[in-house]
A and B are shown apart, each in its own frame.
Chain A
Amino acid sequence: MAGFLLRRAGGILATLLVTSLAVFGSVHLAPGDPATFLLGGRSASPEAVAAIEAQYHLDDPLPVQYVKWAGGVLTGDLGRSVQFRQDVADLILARLPTTLWLVGYAALLIVLVGLTLGALAALRPGAVDRLVLVGTGVATATPAFVAAIGLVSLFSVRLGWFPAFGNGSGLGGRISHLTLPAVALALTFTGLLARVTRASMLEELGRDHVEVARSRGIPGSAVVRRHVLRNALGPITTVTGTVVAGLLVATSIVETAFGLSGIGQLLVGSVTVKDFPVVQAVSLLVVLAFACVNLLVDLAHPLIDPRLSHAKGAAS
């Protein structure tokens, strides 16, 4: 088990290294440079440009810039934002709570609604199943920004139930402000999880041991809980993990649409102006989240299915 965790930690570090190189490279290979943005399009003397480039180490060769930056990250310094002239760490910390609330809220909706609809469809073949299939098909195909527009025009403008804009404060304020964004964010993934749940449960429903349980006089609800849903959890967990990590990326569209100042909006704003330290830091954060969620999913699998044990994996 300890060996497994060590190997996984090494894997995560390697992933972070490769990602940081890729993001670094792509930001710098793209046309345009931060100095031009900082000068706001004004024509400036070559001295002024040089001063700015020196301040942000933009005059160093690329590898040197990378090493300087990476060294900073390792000592806990994520650098300074070109655009905001603030420490990147402070920028991120200030915006993290909003994003975490939004992602957590959406994840809750996805799991609750997705599992319920998927299970319902698997257990009620016929009209209910078809209805869920159509509904989840539409949900999966609806882009988050289209959902955002639709939700705002119905629930904020017409009905006035939820605010259309801003972060909100306090628990109640947050929940009411984040409800529409969370629904917009959750829609596609809810459809996805419902379909995975349905397929996985249908597969388990067809197993002999399910009929054996029925043949022993176990009540239907217990059979579904203990032998169908429980056995179907493997694929459901994998997809849930990927979805939750993916929410950190998908949130940028929703945060922009609803004017929420979170990590996603920060990322979009920073990419546009090539605010390299911010883009780099947010990208690493997202990759780190993906890696951690995957690790959690992999740790959960042997608990779900005892046939998959890490002890065996390590021996082979």
Chain B
Amino acid sequence: MAAPLLDIEDLHVRLAAGRAARPVVDGVSLHVASGETVGLVGESGSGKSVTCRAVLGLLPRGAAATGAVRVDGSDVLAMSAARLRELRRHHVAMVFQDPRAAVNPIRRIGDFVTEGMRAAGVPREAALGRAEDLLESVGIRDPRTALRRYPHEFSGGMLQRVVIAAALAGEPRLLLADEPTTALDVTTQAEVVSILARLRAERAMGMLFVTHDLELAAAICDRVYVMYAGRIVEAQSADGLFARPRHPYTAGLLGATPRLGSELPPRAVPGRPVSLAEAPAGCAFAARCAHALPRCADEQPVQREVGGARVSCLRAEETADD
């Protein structure tokens, strides 16, 4: 079998000594094949962004990573600075959560979109021409004028399109989308998601789509990983996940997702996420789990195959039968 486009194997990321009681990413393994859309879902603070950034070789200051993050078979964690720049320019690109923060407010849109191409040696005129095409492809009207404008002249949704255009400039094979719609208002969210999905398909890229919205992930992804306190607790096909969540946390997240057209407010998963200061010995979710047994607090569940899904729950086999 050919190496998958992205293959993360047993990734651990520990913050600088004294900053956290447990690794922020704790044994994550996931893969994304070429042309595939894969979701990474979890509450805020579960380590999704840290995982995502590790794919670009960006770690929090002072943090240490072990395991492997392979893009097309080469391990990002072992790359030299020059190889990393090459990776970031041509192979992997990222779309960030808040476009206002992601774009330098005092430089022109044209500078932002062409910067990566210019760094890769594309001449200025050619880069501007390509930038125009890219802006057009994300649905920005009058792209030539847009290139000369400043970020504050754009709405959040338009600016996120600019960020997407800039991410595509290096013709990456893998797109990391880190909660690309969380900072946007509801009406533009759907537009941005559909632009991402269309461009991913047109360019046959692989995409790792990070979100805390399980329903959104299920709608656009082929497979979904559910992350809790730095660990993957469940992984299965989007359809399977939606129809039959195997982990109590996944089931809780599904309950927490607001349904379109529903009058009922979403039920949040009860309790609060595990902070970085806590390092529970057993299942990290045990304290919030309605199905927890005494042994859940002491025994760490091993990830295994249950009914077509990969689940880390001591009781996965039992709940699978209800």
List chain A positions with a Cβ less than 8 A from chain B. Answer: 207-209, 211-219, 222, 226-227, 230-231, 304-307
Q: A209-B101, A211-B58, A231-B104 are in contact. Are A307 and B120 (CB under 8 A)?
A: no
Expressed in whole angstroms, the Cα–Cα distance for A304 and B105 within the complex equals 11
Interface residue tally for chain B (C-beta within 8 Å):
30
A161 to chain B, nearest CB (A): 43
Expressed in whole angstroms, the Cα–Cα distance for A231 and B151 within the complex equals 14
Is B94 part of the binding interface, using a Cβ–Cβ cutoff of 8 Å?
Answer: yes
List chain B positions with a Cβ less than 8 A from chain A. Answer: 53, 56, 58, 84-90, 93-94, 96, 98, 101-107, 111, 115-116, 119-120, 150, 152, 166, 170
Residue in contact with B88 in the complex, picked from A208, A216, A305, CB distance below 8 Å? A216
- Indicate if the CB atoms of B88 and A217 lie closer than 8 Å: yes
Residue in contact with A304 in the complex, picked from B89, B106, B170, CB distance below 8 Å? B106
A-B pairs with beta carbons under 8 Å apart, 8 shown: A209-B103, A209-B105, A214-B88, A217-B87, A218-B119, A230-B107, A231-B104, A306-B150
Can you add 9 more A-B contacts, CB < 8 Å, to A212-B102, A216-B166?
Answer: A208-B96, A209-B105, A214-B58, A216-B115, A217-B120, A218-B119, A227-B107, A307-B105, A307-B106
Expressed in whole angstroms, the Cα–Cα distance for A230 and B111 within the complex equals 14
- Indicate if the CB atoms of A226 and B107 lie closer than 8 Å: yes
Cβ contacts under 8 Å, B56 to chain A: 215
- Indicate if the CB atoms of B98 and A208 lie closer than 8 Å: yes
A126 to chain B, nearest CB (A): 12
- Indicate if the CB atoms of A216 and B104 lie closer than 8 Å: no
- Indicate if the CB atoms of B101 and A215 lie closer than 8 Å: no
Cβ contacts under 8 Å, A307 to chain B: 105-106, 150, 152
- Indicate if the CB atoms of B104 and A215 lie closer than 8 Å: no
A236 to chain B, nearest CB (A): 14
Expressed in whole angstroms, the Cα–Cα distance for A230 and B86 within the complex equals 25
- Indicate if the CB atoms of A209 and B102 lie closer than 8 Å: yes
Q: Which 3 A-B pairs have the closest CB atoms?
A: A217-B88, A217-B89, A208-B101
Candidate in A213, A216, A219 with the most chain B CB atoms within 10 angstroms = A216
Expressed in whole angstroms, the Cα–Cα distance for A304 and B88 within the complex equals 29
A306 to chain B, nearest CB (A): 5
Expressed in whole angstroms, the Cα–Cα distance for A64 and B170 within the complex equals 76
- Indicate if the CB atoms of B106 and A306 lie closer than 8 Å: yes
Cβ contacts under 8 Å, B166 to chain A: 216
- Indicate if the CB atoms of B96 and A216 lie closer than 8 Å: no
Closest to A209 in B: B104
